[in-house]
Structure 1
Amino acid sequence: MSYSNFSLEEVKQKFNLKTIENSGIFADIEPIESSDLLQTILQDNLPVAIASNSEKARSEMIIAPILVELKRHFKDEINLFSGVNFTVDETQDLNGICDFLITHSTEKLIISAPIIILVEAKKEDLNAGLGQCIAEMVAAQIFNQKENNNISIVLGVVTSGTNWRFLKLEGDTVYIDLTEYYLSDLNKILGIFCSSVDQLKKM
């Protein structure tokens, strides 16, 4: 078993998690203006990604440029890893490939604590990716603790590139925002990412 096999119900039961599901959990966060470069990239890439309609195309052409924009915003304060093997504890089925993983670390070649954001790409049904994303967030929490970095919050995202759903793991509680943000809300999406990084940096 691996991250991708977890359903929402299974991950809650296995790790004794509580979930709080509300709309607008991140509603008060201020948008961040996207760069002209990102807007041009998405304008060029979006028709190709939509026409291909594969998870890989959406991941490479829509999701990755947005996360690179986040990396650009914070320069070397954070690092972005794509398609990495992130095995934390095989005995608990916390193993497998993470689509995107963001650390607050200067290390570029290896994953170093703290891991602050996990992003899971899905072609269509975002709800189907919740269990997988939460399992990865739990693994990040354990990884951080093993590295003596007791950061209390991990942000999670399940996205098709055009639709974005945000989650937050704090202790044993998962906050699931029932609001879906769309690519037309790009500045809001960037605002949520940036605000979360700023908050986690202070910890």
Structure 2
Amino acid sequence: MAFSSYKTISEVLKTFQIIYTEANFIVENQFNISDYFRADLAFVTQEGVVDNSEFAICENLIYPVLKEVWKCYYSNFILWSHQSLTYDQNLSGFPEYILAKRSPLGKVVFEKPYFLLVEAKQDKFDEGWAQCLAEMVAAQRLNDEFQIIIFGIVSNGDRWQFGKLEDKIFTRNQTFYTIQELDKLFAAVNYVFQQCEAQLNNLVVA
């Protein structure tokens, strides 16, 4: 069953016996956004059609933000785009973006652990979270020997929602972020990357 087959978050919760909670776990960690990025995003959103499809949302709004933050963490992570993720016949597909450990064998090797899954949706946030949570479950099970928190983001380009899966508990951040408040959005994304890096460092030490 492909990730895209899950249409409601309730379905995923019941199928995999996940407990749903809501809380504000994001701690906004300031990120220095370059003037070039601000100007380029302003140009694209003003002059281009940025949200006519999920592909357009990914290319114009989601990936640029993720990439800008990832540049500060590239020595430890690879940001994969539309990479196949398969646990079994009930958990398989192609998440929009996956943040995974950089392999010592080279950047072309898809290496565990998988820390962050990102899903793009055109305003269908419940469906987006159904798919994203299924992807998070797959990542958690593929990581099996690594007890790490899996993070998730669902976005329509404008609104960004954050969640995390820790053991059997899924927590959705109550506060959402928008690309209209760019500094706050970057601070939230930066927090997630920092948490992923801290967990990776703990795994290395262990």
Task: Compute the TM-score of the two structures, normalised by the length of structure 1.
Answer: 0.88
Partner of 1:131: 130
The CA distance in 2 between the partners of 1:49 and 1:142, in whole Å, is 38
- The one-letter amino acid of 2:98's match is L
Shift of 1:113: 0.9
Secondary structure in structure 2 of the residue aligned to 1:88: strand
The CA distance in 2 between the partners of 1:37 and 1:115, in whole Å, is 30
Taking the TM superposition and a 5 Å limit, the aligned residue runs for 1:19-30 are 19-22=20-23, 24-26=24-26, 28-30=27-29
Secondary structure in structure 2 of the residue aligned to 1:37: helix
Partner of 2:84: 85
- The one-letter amino acid of 2:112's match is A
Aligned pairs, number = 195
Q: For 1:105, which of 102, 105, 112 is the aligned residue?
A: 102
Secondary structure in structure 2 of the residue aligned to 1:195: helix
Shift of 1:173: 0.3
Secondary structure in structure 2 of the residue aligned to 1:75: coil
The CA distance in 2 between the partners of 1:202 and 1:164, in whole Å, is 23
Change (3 A) 1:105 1:15: same
The structure carrying a bigger helix percent of its residues is 1
1:18–1:173 Cα contact (<8 Å) kept: yes
1:1-27 superposed Cα distances (whole Å, 9 cap, x missing partner): 2111112111101111001023x332x
Shift of 1:44: 2.2
- The one-letter amino acid of 1:163's match is R
Secondary structure in structure 1 of the residue aligned to 2:63: helix
Shift of 1:192: 2.1
The alignment-based identity, stated in percent, is 29
2:70–2:193 Cα contact (<8 Å) kept: no
Shift of 1:34: 1.5
1:131-190 superposed Cα distances (whole Å, 9 cap, x missing partner): 110000011111112xx3x14201100001111000010110000113221002222222
1:104–1:201 Cα contact (<8 Å) kept: no
Structure 1, unmatched stretches of 5+, are: none
1:81-138 superposed Cα distances (whole Å, 9 cap, x missing partner): 1112211211xx1001111111132442132111111000011222221111000001
The CA distance in 2 between the partners of 1:198 and 1:37, in whole Å, is 23
Structure 2, unmatched stretches of 5+, are: 200-206
Secondary structure in structure 1 of the residue aligned to 2:122: coil
